[in-house]
């Protein structure tokens, strides 16, 4: 009976975090539009979900994040870049927009889980995971983009604009300021929110997270 209650609670928590991600995506809170790419703040709920609910929570919210990006491109309301890539290869565009974000949530959850298990690394686990989430989003999104679409007209036009055909340098020039903004916002908000909620939910038994269970057993 208790296990069923725990599973139900966990599913409710997952649904709530996914709903928050979708809500942000449908409001100006989720995306700040720029001429080519969109500055996204959706890494914040992904990071919080990955910390509070583990890798599964990160995957669910990462999927919600990615799907909003992909659907926006399909509807013609997303970033100019993704809308252009859809015309070239819809499947690979899906990988860039969705699969990359699923991996972001997964890896963020695993990073937090690993750090939280260690007594010495536990105090910094919230901060490291909150910083890794936006950094992973930039690395995986742009990495897949360069891997699959580097020779596309859209990317080559950017290469001509920035005066380089080096993929790594091009990524830095394309997302340098944007990536810094996303990383800074996510680091500040996600680390503060997740740490407070984590402590509160752990105390009242409302959180069921493998990382928490393992750490609790060590402390006992």
Report whether pLDDT(29) > 70.
Answer: yes
Per-residue pLDDT of 43-84, as tens digits, reads 999 999 999 999 999 999 999 999 998 998 888 877 778 888
CB 104 within 8 A of CB 133: yes
Report whether pLDDT(2) > 70.
Answer: no
By three-state DSSP, how is residue 72 classified?
helix
Measured CA distances, 71 to 65, 68, 171, 209, 219 (Å): 10, 5, 24, 31, 45
Domain contains 117: yes
Domain contains 133: yes
Domain containing 163 equals 2-212
Per-residue pLDDT of 149-201, as tens digits, reads 988 888 888 888 888 888 888 888 887 777 788 888 888 989 999 888 887 87
Report how many domains make up the chain: 1
156, 161, 164, 166 alpha-carbon torsion, rounded to 10°: -40
The confidence score (pLDDT) of residue 213 equals: 47
* pTM score of the predicted model: 0.84
Q: Supply the CATH number for residue 87's domain.
A: 1.10.1760.20
Q: Which two tokens stand for residue 111?
A: 């990073």
Domain contains 135: yes
Domain contains 31: yes
Domain contains 217: no
Domain contains 103: yes
Return the closest-CA partner of residue 20 out of 46, 58, 51, 1: 46
The confidence score (pLDDT) of residue 109 equals: 95
Domain contains 219: no
Domain contains 220: no
Selected residue with higher pLDDT from 22 and 200: 22
Find all residues with CB under 8 Å of 109, minimum gap 6, and list them. 50, 51, 53, 54, 55, 56, 57, 58, 59, 129
What is the spatial distance between Cα 50 and Cα 191, in angstroms, rounded to a whole number?
Answer: 11
Helix, strand, coil percentages (3-state) for the chain, rounded to 5, are: 80, 5, 15
Distance of CA 3 to the CA centre of its chain: 29
Selected residue with higher pLDDT from 108 and 158: 108
Partners of 38 in beta bridges:
33
């Amino acid at each position: 009976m208790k296990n069923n209650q725990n599973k139900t609670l966990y599913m409710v928590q997952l649904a709530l975090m996914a709903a928050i991600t979708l809500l942000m995506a449908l409001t100006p809170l989720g995306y700040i539009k720029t001429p080519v790419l969109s500055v996204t703040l959706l890494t914040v709920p992904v990071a919080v979900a990955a910390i509070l609910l583990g890798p599964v929570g990160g995957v669910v919210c990462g999927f919600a994040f990615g799907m909003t990006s992909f659907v926006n491109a399909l509807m013609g309301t997303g970033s100019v870049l993704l809308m252009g890539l859809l015309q070239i290869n819809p499947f690979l565009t899906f990988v860039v927009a969705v699969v990359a974000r699923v991996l972001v949530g997964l890896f963020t959850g695993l990073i937090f889980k690993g750090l939280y298990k260690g007594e010495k690394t536990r105090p910094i686990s919230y901060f490291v995971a909150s910083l890794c989430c936006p950094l992973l989003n930039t690395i995986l999104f742009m990495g897949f983009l360069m891997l699959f679409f580097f020779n596309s007209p859209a990317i080559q036009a950017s290469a001509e604009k920035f005066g380089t055909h080096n993929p790594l340098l091009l990524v830095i020039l394309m997302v340098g300021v944007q990536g810094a903004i996303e990383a800074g916002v996510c680091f500040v908000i996600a680390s503060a929110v997740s740490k407070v909620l984590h402590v509160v939910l752990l105390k009242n038994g409302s959180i069921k997270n493998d990382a928490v269970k393992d750490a609790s057993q060590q402390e006992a």
